[in-house]
Amino acid sequence: MTCDDAGVDMTAQPNLHPGAGPVRAPRGALRRPERGRWFAGVASGVAAHLGLPLPAVRVAFVVLTALGGVGVVLYAFWWLTVPVGDPWGAAAAARPSALSRIASRPTDAERPSRRWPVTDIAVGVLLVAVAGLLVALREDQLDAGWVLPVLVVLAGAALAWSQLDEVARGRLRSRAGGRTPSSVVRLLGGVVLAGVGVLLLVGQATGPGVDAATFAQSVVASIAVLAGVAVVVAPWWLRLWRALADERAARARESERADIAAHLHDSVLQTLALIRARADDPAEVARMARAQERELREWLYDDRPAPGTSLAAQLRDVVAEVEDSRSGPGGEPVAVEAVVVGDRVPDEATAALLQATREALVNAVVHGRPPVSLYLEVGSDEVEVFVKDRGDGFDVDAIGPDRFGVRESIMGRVRRRGGTAKVTSRPGQGTEVHLSMPFVAIPQVAVEQVAPEQDPSVAPQPAPGTVEEER
């Protein structure tokens, strides 16, 4: 399983992108989506894969077609080689399972995917047309005597099928796509084509004299035979091939199951045992339940970023640590409602900001009153944090500079890094701490810390530009 580069690159998660603080936009895998397609879904698949606007890709195909038909050739090539599927789903499947969410994604039931095998039908119609043409060309030679051999061949094919016992037939049928109308039509069409081809070929070989035109006809006829056989056999070949892939996937699922079992054992089971042991201590039980709930929710419903690439993930860790280790004034656990908008690769400045945020959170939890709210916003040129509680509040100015622990641990930390810190508190309305940290002024030390192997002369990029890139 590709755990690094390629695997992570296609995901919806933050990438380590040195110098570019904001998270890079995700890309889909190269698949032809069922939805939103006009023809075979090549354009929409390419657009999703390259992150380009769909109309631009469609225009590009048209323009390329005007240039000597390159567009049509490309389109046909991708049509044949790119499998049908959901680009984002395929990209997510490429994620290492340890980092993906467990719960299934909501599917869009509004627009059911197309069920008609258009490609098959088009190929089939083409082949039948060719066969019809060949027969028509030799119409003068056709008489009632031809009908009999055709029937004999068809009956023979049917007999061959009936020779298979019921079980084998069922298995073959299921491999060919089950007893669906399209698979039956495909089978019949293939058999008819093969039969017609054989008859034409035989009729030709035994016919009087051989000239160029009839030779060409027999070549075409034999191609029709091969095509007919291919139409009959291809689905089984594909099924066989997919069965192999499925087997591999099953093995991967098996190891995933082992992962899940190990995780459940390490977390949920242990917590439940602890809760039972501490059932007489409601505060402790509530805290453990809360911690477990948080962990399980993250595990089930979120894709986890690679470590060290996401400020949002670091903030969640800080929140978890505070929730687990601190209690309100009455010893009760306090839940923090954390909301994060945007994300970026952490650096030294955001580390200081996180430290200050942690101190503000601890203050809010220990001295304030729930609900405690935390809001972090990664803007175009700064990161802002708001920590709000519903305590009694206090008069900020009335607190002497010597006594105010908040002053050094929160405000000092942020200001030393070029940020600003403001505490707003009105008696009876709680306290709100507002921290903001610009990231234009970050020296390249920060970048080196993220990616030590980068050449310092190319690594730093101005943040506003990278924001444009992200959007």
Partner 1 sequence: MTQQVPAVPAVDVVLVDDHHLFRTGVRASLDDRVHVVGEAASVDEAVRVVRTLAPPVVLLDVHLPGGDGGGGAEVIRACADLTGTRFLALSVSDAAEDVVAVIRAGARGYVTKAIDGPALSDAVRRVADGDAVFSPRLAGFVLDAFGAAAGDVATGDDELDRLSAREREVMRLIARGYTYREVAAELFISIKTVETHVSAVLRKLQLSSRHELTRWAAARRLL
* Backbone dihedral region for residue 174 (phi beyond 0: left; psi -120 to 50: alpha; all else: beta): alpha
Taking residues 45 to 64 in sequence order and writing x for each that binds partner 1 by CB under 8 A, - otherwise, the string is ---x--x-x-----------
Taking residues 413 to 432 in sequence order and writing x for each that binds partner 1 by CB under 8 A, - otherwise, the string is -------------------x
Enter the DSSP assignment of 25: P
* Kind and range of the H or E run holding 187: helix 181-206
Residue 194: partners with Cβ closer than 8 Å, 6 or more residues away:
157, 225, 228, 229, 232
Taking residues 2 to 31 in sequence order and writing x for each that binds partner 1 by CB under 8 A, - otherwise, the string is ----------x------------xx-x---
163 binds partner 1 (CB under 8 A): no
From 331, 335, 337, select the one nearest 283 (Cα to Cα): 331
Residue 231: partners with Cβ closer than 8 Å, 6 or more residues away:
123, 124, 127, 186, 189, 190, 193
- Cβ proximity to partner 1: between 295 and 302 the closer is 302
Segment near partner 1 (CB under 8 A); pick from 130-138, 244-252, 369-377, 451-459 = 369-377
Taking residues 309 to 338 in sequence order and writing x for each that binds partner 1 by CB under 8 A, - otherwise, the string is --------------------------x-x-
From 342, 376, 365, select the one nearest 471 (Cα to Cα): 342
117 binds partner 1 (CB under 8 A): no
Segment near partner 1 (CB under 8 A); pick from 83-91, 129-137, 225-233, 451-459 = 83-91
* Kind and range of the H or E run holding 385: strand 382-388
341 binds partner 1 (CB under 8 A): yes
* Kind and range of the H or E run holding 341: strand 336-341
Kindly tell me which residue out of 6, 81, 107, 116 binds partner 1, with binding defined by CB under 8 A. 107
Kindly tell me which residue out of 62, 63, 73, 103 binds partner 1, with binding defined by CB under 8 A. 103
Classify 100 as helix, strand or coil: coil
Kindly tell me which residue out of 252, 300, 441, 458 binds partner 1, with binding defined by CB under 8 A. 300
- Token pair for 338: 């954390």
Q: What DSSP string runs through 206-273?
A: HSS---HHHHHHHHHHHHHHHHHHHHHHHHHHHHHHHHHHHHHHHHHHHHHHHHHHHHHIIIIIHHHH
Q: Which of residues 224-283 bind partner 1 (CB under 8 A)?
A: none
- Cβ proximity to partner 1: between 253 and 297 the closer is 297
Q: How many CB atoms lie under 10 A from the CB of residue 12?
A: 15
284 binds partner 1 (CB under 8 A): no
Residues engaged in binding partner 1 (CB under 8 A) = 12, 25-26, 28, 48, 51, 53, 86, 88-89, 92, 101, 103-110, 112, 297, 300-302, 335, 337, 339-342, 371-375, 377-380, 386, 388, 432, 467, 471
